[in-house]
Amino acid sequence: MRAPPLLAGAALALCLWVASACSVSRHRLDEAVFHEGPDYSLKLVRWYEDYPLHFTGETAVVECRSPATLNEPAGQRNDAGWVVLGSIPALGSKSASELLPEARRRFLPVDEHILVWTGLTLNASWSGCRGFATWDPTTLPADLIDPAPRPDYCKPKGTADCKYEDFQGERMPDYSNVRASADGAVEFDVRSKGLRTGGPIHVASRDFGKTWEAAPQK
């Protein structure tokens, strides 16, 4: 049975309103380059994004360009020839330049050839930001981790793997004393309220991140 014209029109108007209200909009604000070198360059790009009923405001990403990324096509959040490495908190910011201290704290040009960037994990690249070796704090032995409270849908009550809850918010890892060299060695100290240890844990790899060793420090 065909719907009456008034009902059909109302339904169409509702569909159009829902589509309009739920459409995502994004526009570029500004950018700031904070490292330029022969092997790679880094810049912070700031956006204004509107996700109706979810989030509206400023966001920022760090992009990397190197000889290994020159053929990268442009995407929704990256320029042609650049790849997105990660995001930086930007809500309420007025310019890309004011966010550079946080970008420099997290994205560390060890030298002209090696890049390390930190978030929840620590990531090191010897290949012009095309590939990264990653250390993940959730891989530490269980006796070193102080578990965060879990919702019922998480294991062991539920089925979801919520291991990253242990390193969110104020438990976010803090990385320091980062060193890396061309022979594949990388080492650093990590602290977190998600760890049982009173002092830092020293983590090291000698094989470009294929294997890692971690030992609590006093």
Per-residue pLDDT for 56 more than 80? yes
Percent of the chain with pLDDT over 90: 73
Q: What is the pLDDT of residue 13?
A: 47
Model confidence at 20: pLDDT above 50: no
| Tens digit of each residue's pLDDT (9 = 90 or more) over 110-159 | 888 999 999 999 999 998 898 899 999 999 999 999 999 988 999 888 99
Provide the 3-class DSSP secondary structure of residue 66: coil
Distance in angstroms (rounded) separating the CA atoms of residues 81 and 63 = 10
The confidence score (pLDDT) of residue 198 equals 76
Q: 1-5, 80-84, 133-137, 212-216 — which is least confidently predicted?
A: 1-5
Tell me which of 109 and 17 has the higher pLDDT: 109
Neighbour count for residue 200 (Cβ, 10 Å): 19
User: What proportion of the chain, given as a percentage, has pLDDT over 70?
Assistant: 90
Higher local confidence (pLDDT), 143 or 18: 143
Model pTM above 0.85: no
Q: What is the DSSP secondary structure assignment for residue 122, as one 8-state letter? A: E
* Largest Cα–Cα separation, the chain: 78
Mean pLDDT for the chain?
89
Phi, psi (5° rounding) for residue 19?
-60, -40
Cα(137)–Cα(150) distance, rounded to whole angstroms? Answer: 18
Burial tier of 157 (Cβ tally within 10 Å: 0-12, 13-18, 19+): exposed
Residue 16 binned pLDDT confidence (cut-offs 50, 70, 90): very low
